[in-house]
Structure formats: C-alpha cells, structure tokens
C-alpha cells in the first residue's frame, strides 16, 4: 500500500548516495508515495543506469588477468551503485533499475542474475552473500486498474542487515527488513520482516528456527568454524 506522506529518514539516507536525481517526485518515490515514473528526471536516471549497467556486464575479461578483475569490476561498480564498500564483488549479469538507490556494505558477494528494482532504497549491510537469480523488489503497484492507466506506482525500501545469506531465486518484496545474521532459504518469497539470526523458508517465508549469534559461536569452544583463518589471513 502506498504511503500518504514523505519519510524524512529515507530521504536523509538518500543524501549519502551518489547520483540520486533529487526532486519532488524522487522524494515521493523513495518514501513509498504514489509518484509518476515517466517524468524526465527519473527517465534520465534510469537511462544513465542502463549505460553503466552495460559497461559493468560487458567488461572484456579476456584482456584482464584474474588477479585484476575484482579491482576493475569494483571501479565500475562504484559508478553504478549509490554506495559500495571495499571487498564487495558482483558477478555479472547484474540488473539494477536506478542503481543510485543501492547501498552495499563491505566484503559482500552477489552472484549472477540478480535483479534489484531500486525504486526505493536498497540498503545491504556488510558481509552479505546473495545467491543466483535473486530479486530485490522495492517497486509496488495498487490493485486499482485506474492507477495503472494513470502510470502511478510506489516503492518501499528493503534493508538486509550484516552477515545475511540470501539463497538462490529468493524474492524479497517491498518494505522488508532482513535481520542481522539471518538465512533465507532458496526460492523463498519474503513478504514480512525477518528477525535477526533466523532461518526462514517458504512462500511466504516463515521463520523455521533461530541460530546462535556470532558472539555465541565465538564463545563456544566446540564450534567448528571458530578457529578457521579469517578471509584476509
């Protein structure tokens, strides 16, 4: 359902992102209000995103060594999305809508064929892993046929907190927050918030169990992962 007023906290978050097309309709769009996606400022923003997406997905890897590919892709990714942390890598093809409405933390891995309809903001934390074929969908439409004839829609933000794993072919719908350390099982459809350190599966996704926090795992002398070397060791 569309919101009836702007969300100042979401608009404030957008000011930290590169290349956002700030205007009245943009602020309505990311706040979840009805807006017109065909105004020139928004059409231009999506057009720019298409070009940057092509650059990212069509990088000529034959002329680049495997040691250099991550750095080359990271430079392109910094132009494509609104914000991205060091050590993050996205396998192409990658399909964002605006690109500038996406914030990704450090040391994330996103596998190929991921679509992000970032009508509103998509905020991804640190060390998040996302499987193939995932869709993060912030865009929404009313069931009213007349609303579609009038070309109005809305978008609600998606938040994926630190250390989450999103399985292959998962769909996350507008307005959802995935809590820290959670796992979403393959092919699930997430329609509601998932609490931290949960395992959720199904369509719609439901929490099946909770798991220990990182701190609890580190305190457990029998944890098989506790003494493994860190990524950069």
Catalytic residues: 141
Q: Are strands 158-160 and 177-178 parallel, antiparallel or unpaired?
A: parallel
Helix (H) / strand (E) containing 31? helix 24-31
> How far is 105 from 124, CA to CA, in rounded Å?
6
Other residues' Cβ atoms within 10 Å of the Cβ of residue 51: 11
Other residues' Cβ atoms within 10 Å of the Cβ of residue 221: 7
Q: What is the sign of the dihedral through the CA atoms of 173, 174, 178 and 179?
A: negative
Overall size of the chain counted in residues: 233
For 106, the 3-state DSSP assignment is: coil
Q: Are 199 and 185 in contact (CB under 8 A)?
A: yes
Query: 116 CB contacts (<8 Å, ≥6 apart)?
Result: 94, 95, 96, 97, 102, 122, 135, 136
> How far is 30 from 139, CA to CA, in rounded Å?
9
For 33, the 3-state DSSP assignment is: strand
């Amino acid at each position: 359902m569309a919101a009836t007023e702007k969300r100042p906290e979401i608009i404030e978050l957008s000011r930290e992102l590169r290349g956002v097309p700030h205007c009245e309709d943009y602020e309505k769009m990311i706040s979840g209000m009805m807006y017109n996606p065909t105004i020139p400022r928004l059409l231009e923003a999506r057009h720019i995103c298409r070009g940057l997406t092509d650059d990212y997905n069509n990088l000529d890897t034959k002329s680049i060594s495997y040691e250099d590919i991550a750095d080359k892709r990271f430079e392109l990714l910094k132009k494509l999305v609104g914000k991205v942390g060091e050590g993050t890598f996205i396998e192409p093809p990658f399909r964002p809508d605006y690109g500038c409405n996406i914030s990704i933390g450090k040391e994330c891995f996103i596998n190929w064929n991921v679509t992000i309809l970032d009508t509103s903001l998509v905020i991804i934390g640190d060390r998040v892993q996302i499987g193939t074929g995932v869709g993060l969908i912030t865009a929404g439409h009313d069931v009213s046929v007349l609303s579609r004839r009038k070309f109005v829609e809305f978008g609600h933000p998606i938040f994926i907190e630190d250390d989450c794993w999103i399985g292959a072919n998962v769909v996350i719908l507008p307005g959802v927050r995935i809590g820290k350390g959670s796992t979403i099982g393959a092919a699930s459809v997430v329609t509601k918030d998932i609490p931290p350190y949960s395992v959720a599966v199904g369509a719609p996704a439901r929490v099946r169990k909770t798991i220990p926090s990182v701190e609890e795992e580190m305190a457990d002398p029998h944890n098989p992962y506790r003494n493994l070397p860190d990524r950069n060791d």
